[in-house]
Structure 1
Amino acid sequence: MCSSLYQRLYSSSFSGATSLYTSSSPSPFLFVAIVNPLIQLLTPASISSATNGSGYWIPAFAGMTGMTRLARASLTRYIADVTVNPVMRIGEFDIAEPIPELRDPHMLVVLRPWIDVGNVGSLSLGRIERHLRSKELGRLYRPGRFYDFTRYRPRSYLVSGNREVTIPNTIIRYSNPEDGPHLLTAHLLEPHLYGEDYSDALLEIIKYFGVKQYALIGGMYDMVPHTRPLVVSGLGTGEHVERDYATANARPSNYEGPTTITYTISETATKMGIETRAFVVHLPQYLNLDDDYQGAARMMGLLCRLYDFPDYIAQADRGEKQYDELTSRDGQIPSGDMLTRIEEMYDSEYGADNRPEPTTPLPSSIEEFLQGLDVDLSDAGDSGGNGDADDGDDPDDRGLAGV
Structure 2
Amino acid sequence: MQIGQFEIPEPVPELKNTVAFAMLKPWIDVGRVGSLVLNKLESHFDAKELTRLSKPGKYFDFTRYRPRLVMSGDKRTLSIPNTIIRHAYDAKNDRSLMFLHIREPHMAGEDYANSISNLLIHFNVKEYCRIGGMYDSVPHSRKLIVTGSLTENQYELADELITSRSSNYTGPTSIVNLVSEHLSERKCNVTSLMVHMPQYAKLETDQMAVSRLLECISATHNIATALSDNSLGENQYKEIDRAVASNPEMQLLIQQLEAYYDRSHDPSQDISEPKESNLSPEIESFLNEMGEQFNQK
TM-score by length of 2: 0.85
Unaligned 5+ segments in structure 1 are: 1-87, 354-373, 383-403
Q: Distance in 2 between matches of 1:380 and 1:221?
A: 15
Alignment-derived partner of residue 401 in structure 1: none
Alignment-derived partner of residue 276 in structure 1: 190
Question: Equivalent residues in 2 for 1:30-69 (5 A)?
Answer: none
Shift of 1:346: 1.2
Alignment-derived partner of residue 147 in structure 2: 233
Alignment-derived partner of residue 180 in structure 2: 266
Matching residue within 247, 258, 263 for 1:348? 263
Alignment-derived partner of residue 118 in structure 1: 31
> 2:147, 2:165 within 8 Å by CA — same for their partners in 1?
yes
Unaligned 5+ segments in structure 2 are: 269-279, 289-297
> 1:224, 1:285 within 8 Å by CA — same for their partners in 2?
yes
Hey, which of these two has a bigger chunk of strand by percent?
2
Provide the secondary structure at the position in 1 that maps to 2:196. Answer: strand
Q: Distance in 2 between matches of 1:205 and 1:331?
A: 51
Provide the secondary structure at the position in 2 that maps to 1:348. Answer: helix
Provide the secondary structure at the position in 1 that maps to 2:234. Answer: helix
Q: Distance in 2 between matches of 1:272 and 1:122?
A: 27
Question: Equivalent residues in 2 for 1:129-148 (5 A)?
Answer: 129-148=42-61
After superposition, the Cα gap between the structure-2 partners of 1:241 and 1:263, relative to the gap in structure 1 and judged at 3 Å, is: farther
Alignment-derived partner of residue 397 in structure 1: none
Q: Distance in 2 between matches of 1:381 and 1:233?
A: 22
Alignment-derived partner of residue 123 in structure 2: 209
Alignment-derived partner of residue 107 in structure 1: 20
Q: Deviations over 1:182-207 (max 9, x none)?
A: 10000000101011111100111111
Q: Deviations over 1:205-245 (max 9, x none)?
A: 11110000001000000000011110011234x56464455
The one-letter code sitting in structure 2 at the alignment partner of 1:171 is I
Q: Distance in 2 between matches of 1:340 and 1:331?
A: 12
Alignment-derived partner of residue 202 in structure 2: 288
> 1:224, 1:343 within 8 Å by CA — same for their partners in 2?
yes
Q: Deviations over 1:273-317 (max 9, x none)?
A: 000111110000000111000000000101111233222221211
Q: Distance in 1 between matches of 2:203 and 2:132?
A: 14
Q: Identity of paired residues, percent?
A: 36
Q: Distance in 1 between matches of 2:219 and 2:152?
A: 18
Q: Distance in 2 between matches of 1:95 and 1:302?
A: 31
> 2:22, 2:102 within 8 Å by CA — same for their partners in 1?
yes
Q: Distance in 2 between matches of 1:264 and 1:381?
A: 34
Q: Distance in 1 between matches of 2:15 and 2:122?
A: 11
Shift of 1:252: 1.7
Alignment-derived partner of residue 6 in structure 2: 93
Count of aligned pairs: 276
Question: Equivalent residues in 2 for 1:4-403 (5 A)?
Answer: 88-180=1-93, 181-236=95-150, 240=153, 242-243=155-156, 246=159, 248-254=161-167, 256=169, 257-329=171-243, 331=245, 336-351=251-266, 375-377=281-283
> 2:158, 2:216 within 8 Å by CA — same for their partners in 1?
no
Q: Distance in 2 between matches of 1:139 and 1:278?
A: 23
Give the number of the structure whose alpha-carbon radius of gyration is greater.
1
Alignment-derived partner of residue 291 in structure 2: none
